[in-house]
Chain A
C-alpha cells in the first residue's frame, strides 16, 4: 500500500522540519519526504493542503481501564478516542483492576491492543504488588512482557524504605521509574488545592508542600541510587522550581504535566464542578503560570492527557466523593495548540511536547518522521473550530472540565504503520 500525503505543512519536531511538502508512505514506513521515490504510483492520495502533517502523537499517560474497569471504558472505545485525537502511541499507567503487576496481565493487554489494530500501547508496570507499596513486583518478567517503566500510578508510596529498595532494584537493571510526587500522609483525604478556594468551599485540602516534600525525597533517593526517574504530573510552582534546580544539578530526571493543569486552576471548580476533580488537584493561577513557563523553558519535558475516563455515576456526586479524573485523549492536541497560541510558541516547539519528547522519555523510536521509520502520522486542520460536546467524544468517558469550550485544530487523518485508521 502506497499512500501520499500531498502538499501539507510537514512539522517534524524531531528533525526541526516545518515546511510545505509531501510525505510518501510505502509498506507501512516513511519512504520519502518532499521528493517522490522513483516510479512513485500511490494507491491513495490524501490531500493535505492547508493541513499540518506531524508525527502521530504520543500520550505518556492514558488509562484504557482494562482489565477490570470496563464499566468506565474499554480498549475499543479508548483506542477509537486515541486515534480520533491523533494519538498513535500511548503509555498506560498500572492502576487497572487488578493492577498491572503480573506478566500475564500485561501480555493480555498488549495482545488485546494489537488485535484492535489501533495505537501502540506501552504498559507501565506496577512498582509494587497490587500498588500496595509493600512488595516489589517481578520487574524483569514485567519488562519482558512489555512494560517500559514502573510506577505506583496515583497510589503514593508511604513507606520510604520500600521506595528506596524499589528504586535500587529498578536502578540495578536500568528500568525507569515513574513517580507522582505527592506525600502520602499530607495528601490523605484531600481533594483540592490548599488555598482560598478550598477554604471557601470547605473542601479537604492538599497542600503544595505535599508535592515539594515528595520531590525533595525523590531527588535524595535518585542521588543515592542513580535510578532514572520520570516525575509524573507536576502541579505547583515550587515544584517547577525544584525540578529546574535538580536538572541543573544533572540528576537523571524528566517530568511531565497534564494538559488540564496547563489551562485550569482551582478557581475553575466554581460551585463544585466535579469535572475539575483531578489528581493532583488544580492549583492556583501562579502555579498554572509556572507550569506554562516550565514547559516553555524545557524544565517540564512533555504534556500528557492523563486520560481518565470516568462513568457519569462516579462524577454525579458531591465533589469530594466524586471520582477524580478527566477524559483527554481527544483534547490533547487542540489544548496543546491553544497553549502554543497563547504563549506565541512556534508550532514545531509545541508539537515536540506531545511527539518527540514523550518518545524520548519512553525510549520509543516513534515520534518523528524520519525515512524508514514506521509511518505513524497525524494530519490535522489547524484552522478547524469545534466545540467540545462530551456526547460526541469517542471515549466512553464524557467527563471533561472543558465541556462547551470552543477549540481550534481537529484531526483529519490518523495513520498507524502506514494505514489510515481514522478519518473525518
Chain B
C-alpha cells in the first residue's frame, strides 16, 4: 500500500503513523534524538535547525502535556510556534477542518502538529495538502482518535532502547485499555518493526480490540501470566469515563486485576522497567509505590519525549 508519509525517495515528509515505516527510518529518528537529550542540559538550550520556520500546534482535542512538549521541542529548534486550540475556536463557528487548514496554509505555515479526536484526521490533512499543491507543509500526528500517537511510540522506543539496548531479546507487556489506545497501537507497530522478541497485551476482553493478535502481539487476560518474565511493562491510562459502565464495573475492581503493584511487578524480570505515557491515575492503573519506585522510568520518558519530537520535526522539515 502507498505510504503517504514517505516521498518518492523514501524519506519521511510527514509523521502520520509508525505502521509501515522501515526500521532504518525509525532508527534514524532515535539516533537523531540522542544528541538532543544533552541540549536540554546546556546553558543555551537551542539549535538553529528550524530557524525561520513556523510550526502550528493544531489541537482539535485539548491536551496540555503533549502540546507543551511539542512547543518546547519546536522552540529548542528555534522555530516560531503558534498554538491553536481549535476545539474551542473555529470549528465551533462552523468552519470545516480543511477550511482551517487552508487558512493556516495561506499564512505560510511550514509544519502542522495535529491532535484530533478522530482516527485518520492527520492523514486527511496530509492528503489535502498534497492535493492542493502544498506538499511542502509537513504534518506531524500528535495523536488521532484511537489510531496512532507516533511520537509517543517513538519516545517509548527511545526509552526502551536507552535502558535495554537490543529489542530482539525483549519481552514487552502493554497493560490496560488497548481498545481505545493510540499509544498502544503506535508502540506495537514500532516494537514489531524493530524485531522485539515478544510483545504482549494484557487486559480484560472489554478493553482489547477484535483481532488484536493480527498486530503481532500475544494476548493475556491475567497480569500474573502476562507479566511473567517481562523486561518492560507499559501501563496505559484508563480514561475516567471508562472506569464505570459497560466496559468495567469500577476503578477499584480494575485496580485489583490490572493495577500495577509492587507484588505484581515482582513477576517481571528483576531489572524490568515500568513506563506510562501519562497522565497517570495513581491507584487506578498504577500504585504510587511503583510509579515512584526504582523500576519507574516515567519521568525520563518525558525528557526523552522532547528530544524525540525535536528529532522528528528536524527530520521531516529537512526532507
Contacts and interface: CB of A to CB of B under 8 A. Distances in A.
Interface of A: 194-196, 198-205, 207, 270-272, 274, 313, 316-321
Contacts of A320: 118-120, 145
A128 B130 CA distance: 46
Interface of B: 1-2, 4, 16, 19, 96-98, 116, 118-121, 123-124, 127-128, 144-148, 182, 185, 209-212, 214-215
A272 B124 contact: yes
Contacts of A318: 97, 116, 118-121, 124, 144-145
A60 B210 CA distance: 34
Given A200-B185, A316-B128, A317-B124, A195 B211 contact: yes
A390 to B, nearest CB: 13
Contact of B120 (A205, A207, A319): A319
27 contacts: A195-B211, A196-B211, A199-B211, A200-B185, A200-B214, A201-B119, A201-B120, A202-B119, A202-B185, A203-B147, A205-B210, A207-B210, A270-B2, A271-B4, A271-B16, A271-B127, A272-B119, A274-B124, A316-B97, A317-B118, A317-B124, A318-B97, A318-B120, A318-B144, A318-B145, A320-B118, A320-B119
A196 B124 contact: no
**8 A-B pairs with the lowest CB-CB distances in the bound complex, closest first:** A202-B146, A202-B147, A272-B120, A318-B118, A202-B119, A196-B214, A199-B209, A318-B121
Contacts of B128: 316
A199 B120 contact: no
Nearest to A272: B120
Contacts of B147: 201-203
Contacts, number: 79
A199 B123 contact: no
Nearest to B120: A272
Contacts of A270: 1-2
Nearest to A207: B210
Contacts of B4: 271
A161 B16 CA distance: 47
A270 B97 CA distance: 21
B189 to A, nearest CB: 9
A316 B120 CA distance: 12
A200 B1 CA distance: 14
A198 B148 CA distance: 13
B210 A195 contact: yes
B118 A199 contact: no
Contacts of A203: 119-120, 145-147
A316 B125 CA distance: 10
Which of B1, B4, B124, B148 has the most C-beta atoms of chain A within 10 angstroms of its own C-beta?
Answer: B124
B123 A272 contact: yes
A405 B209 CA distance: 33
